[in-house]
A and B are shown apart, each in its own frame.
Chain A
């Protein structure tokens, strides 16, 4: 029974709390559905077509750039923990790594990937 067990126990308690509240709600609440009540909300009008509309490819682009940065940060975390042992060597190595990513970042910026209009 280590610390991780406590953590997952707490997560489990939260889940149990949520499920219990919803079950209690289903038991206590009324249930009188009719067709007008059950249509998706669109300011009181009938919904016009499918809700899953096409969306801009820019959201996808943001997700790809996020992935690159997130992987970078995952590399930076262990570096930060043992920074004192690595000293100047680690500083320069990670500096080169980050500068390469910064070039890509500036390129993406200049290509307008971060521009929302």
Chain B
């Protein structure tokens, strides 16, 4: 009995540590985004709160905590209340499945990839329910667009990951990284560069980021599906969006860039290489946002259905064929 409680406590401590690390990453991702985009546009970015504006995310959090929590007229109350939590849980739970290091993965389940894909599908519910419940036309249109976009790019993303599963022969994320280390290429980016390309584009679309940010296009829909939310409920949607970016980048690192392996071993910091790769991919997200204009809606759907899905299927069968020959 005492042994069980000991294990339970150690698991809870591990989960809390992981959550705190993930939250720090999410908070400082917002800071990094503002700072990097500011630099790319020849501005300074946040520089008032703390040295170089480093305390900005904390100040934002405190400010949002003391704002008024508005519930507008005519909202569908139960749905309006639960939608942000659906978004947050679906976007954030993936963190527990990512192997940061061979011996540090909170939940090493056999169907890791499938579970992350399921969670990213479910996050469409948070979007569409908040859009429907808000009783605002902007929110409604944003929710519709977002759900159509998320399901379209879901297929391309699953096809890209399918090629990785085919090469590794497992759905377990630790096994996939080990299969990459044991393969002649060391990382799957080299044989699966097309799948990586499809995956990154779909991941940007899944997270509703520029250039695919039509659901929340500021210039036409003000904020899209969460326009009626204020204070902390609004912040939870933001948190979910950035959690989604972190999880998608971590999944790309695990499936294509070889997870925790690097050219040489760094003493005492076993997940050094994982974090370096993760930060690089997050930087790419921000870089794309600072560089590209927004897509038109028909271009967006056309890219998903007419380019990425055929490319994904061809790449999958090419992979299978080559694997059979060699």
Residues of A within 8 A of B (CB): 1, 3-7, 9-11, 13-15, 17-19, 21-22, 24-26, 28-33, 37-42, 47, 51-53, 55, 59, 62-63, 66, 69-70, 73, 76-77, 80-84, 87-88, 91, 95, 98, 102, 105, 109, 114-117
Contacts and interface: CB of A to CB of B under 8 A. Distances in A.
Interface of B: 4, 7-8, 11-12, 14-16, 18-19, 23, 64-74, 84-85, 88-89, 92-93, 95-97, 106-109, 114-115, 132, 134-140, 144, 147-148, 151-152, 154-155, 158-159, 162, 165-166, 169-171, 222, 227-228, 231-233, 235-236, 297-298, 301-302, 305-306, 309, 313, 316-317, 320-321, 323-324
A21 B305 CA distance: 39
A11 B93 contact: yes
B70 A37 contact: yes
Given A29-B66, A76-B162, A117-B298, A59 B144 contact: yes
A24 B67 CA distance: 11
A5 B109 CA distance: 10
Majority secondary structure of chain A interface residues (helix, strand, loop or mixed): helix
Majority secondary structure of chain B interface residues (helix, strand, loop or mixed): helix
Contacts of B89: 11, 14-15, 18
Contact of B320 (A10, A22, A70, A83): A83
Contacts of A62: 148, 151-152, 301
A108 to B, nearest CB: 9
Given A9-B15, A77-B165, A18 B137 contact: no
Nearest to A55: B144
A40 B11 CA distance: 44
